[in-house]
Structure 1
Amino acid sequence: MAKVNGMPGTDVAVRAKGRPSSRERIVSAAGDLVRSQGAARLSLEAVAEKAEISKGGLLYNFPTKGALVGALIADYVEQLQKARACHLEALQSSGERNSVVRSHIMANATICERAGPPPAGILAAIAEDNTLLEPIRAYASTLVERIEADDDADLSLIAYLVGEGLCALELFQTNTLTEDQRKRALTLLDRLLAGGGGPAQAAASPGE
């Protein structure tokens, strides 16, 4: 699977002056707390303390917990878009096949390997207000449309569904795959998308 160095992670971008804005600090702190303690324990007080900002300052940026969760999801989608754009550029410059779906799968892996998917653990908040998922829906809708331009659109669509299935296993904390199994599956998937064939195809040749 192709690699791209210097990928954006889940850390909030730093402004030119070298200091993140209060909003960025809050989102970063909330993301850290969700990943380390779970959304059930996410409180505005805890976020304000970790971000080293007053609760009044936090409420100015995010009046409700739902607004903060929405910002976490939007931040996740933004990071996913940036990572996918970098992978897509690298794949297309190398003339790789099925670059749209491969760039998405690589971006997902890049982010999840660093800190886990930010939406994990916030299902309760989403259940109360599923409009929080709008940024993810919009990203997915655009991606599926663009997958139609891949060299093998049908294979790319299947690959997209496989990748989303792996993410769902993590989201619902039902993943029983070992790290080796997960990497083998992703490597084989990328090989198929690149046009290299599967293990059986590689092991046999006509006339043998």
Structure 2
Amino acid sequence: MSEPTLSTRDRIIDTAMDIVRDQGVVKLTLDEAAKCAGLSKGGVLYHFKTKDELIRGMLEAMILQHEEIQLAYYQREPEGPYRWVRAVVRTAYDSDGLAKDRVAAALMALVAVNPELQKTIQAHYEKWIARIRADSPNQMLAELICMAMDGQYFESILGLELCDTTEREQMQAYLLDLLKREDGALR
């Protein structure tokens, strides 16, 4: 079965991610994206009027990819309290997740200095927190674990790797067990 053909917009975003991954964020320009995607600059400008719009498109594509991974974990989790939090924990420790992609680190650096890009992430965080609050009897515990997973995610993005694979596996198991015990104590 052949892969679906990417839209021109998605091809530009994928190309921009490749540029950042291979050459660094400094090399990302609309001209470079056009050249590497095999398009005219006008073809890129049709979809993205500015570099910030292209970066926002890249950020939204990464968020969508993250949500797809999280939703897949959510669907595999048994129903019950903390289902979304369990999916968050599993996503944070996913070895193929976004935290292992150098593009994520570059985009986070850009978001940190650009309030308009921060709004893109803030809107998604609000949705994610609403999900977590909706199925978590102990919202304080759920939010604390999610904040820890944000820390895990950023540790990985920044390449700090403060824990080895075994320690990460132990932490994941501990957090999931903590949620299970909390659920049992509430019944």
Same fold, judged at TM 0.5 (above):
yes
Q: Which runs of 5+ in 2 are unaligned?
A: none
CA distance in 2, matches of 1:113, 1:70: 16
The offset of 1:127, in angstroms, is 4.7
**Does 2:26 align with 1:40?**
yes
Once residues 89 and 172 of structure 2 are traced to their aligned partners in structure 1, the CA distance between those partners, rounded to angstroms, is 9
Please name the residue that 2:54 is paired with: 68
Q: Which residue of 1 aligns with 2:146?
A: 160
Which protein has the bigger helix share? 2
The number of equivalent residue pairs is 180
Identity score, percent:
23
Answer yes or no: is the 8 Å Cα contact 1:44–1:65 preserved in 2: yes
Query: Of the candidates 132, 135, 147, which is equivalent to residue 132 of structure 2?
Result: 147
| Maintained 8 Å contact 1:26/1:51 | yes
Cα 1:48–1:191 change in 2 (3 A) is farther
Q: Deviations over 1:56-107 (max 9, x none)?
A: 211211121111111111111112222222222221xx23541111212323
Cα distance change, pair 79–195 in 1 and its aligned pair in 2 (3 A): same
Does the CA contact (< 8 Å) of 2:98 and 2:104 recur in 1? no
1:188 pairs with 174, 177, 180, which one?
A: 174
Written as runs of structure 1 = structure 2, the 5 A alignment for 1:118-137 is: 118-123=103-108, 125-137=110-122
Shift in CA distance, 117/105, structure 1 to aligned 2, threshold 3 Å: farther
Q: What TM-score, normalized by structure 2, do the two folds share?
A: 0.80
Q: TM-score, normalised by structure 1?
A: 0.73
CA–CA separation in structure 1 for the residues paired with 2:80 and 2:150: 22
Task: Tell me the equivalent position of 1:101.
Answer: 85
Secondary structure of 1:176's partner?
Answer: coil
One-letter code of the match for 1:43? T
- Closer, same or farther: CA 59–112 of 1 in aligned 2, 3 Å: same
Provide Cα deviations, 1:7-62, integer angstroms capped at 9, x if missing partner: xxxxxxxxx99311110001111122223332122222332233222222112111
**TM superposition shift of 1:124:** 5.1
* Structure 1: segments with no counterpart, 5+ residues: 1-15, 198-208
What's the Cα RMSD here? 2.8
- Name the aligned partner's letter for residue 158 of structure 1: L
